[in-house]
Amino acid sequence: MAGTEVKVPDIGDFKEIEVIEVLVKPGDDIAKEQSLITLESDKATMEIPSPAAGKVAQLKVKVGDKVSQVRQSWFWKLL
């Protein structure tokens, strides 16, 4: 089944930013714009919303991971 891959949005001048909270788990049904994870830099904390409604098929990050826009296939797929 095809899915929607969720990627890091524009995070400004940061090369990497830390995942401080994962708000969903595989199998969860989620709504469009529902918060998925929380990221934190030395200047801001931001929640990353889902671009679409669906079911979380796979997580590719955990608390403490560093993410960036450059890193490919960083998060999960929504079915």
Q: Which domains does the chain show, CATH number per domain?
A: 4-78 (2.40.50.100)
Q: Note the pLDDT of residue 73.
A: 44
3-state class (DSSP) for residue 48? strand
Report pLDDT digits (tens) over 12-69: 777 788 999 999 998 999 999 999 999 898 888 889 888 888 888 888 889 999 887 6
Strand order in the sheet with 17-22: 45-49, 35-40, 17-22, 66-67
- pTM reported for the whole predicted model: 0.78
Q: Note the pLDDT of residue 20.
A: 95
Helix and strand counts by DSSP (H, E) for the chain: 0, 8
Range with lowest mean pLDDT among 1-10, 52-61, 70-79: 70-79
48 CB-near residues (< 8 Å, 6+ apart): 6, 8, 9, 35, 36, 37, 38, 39
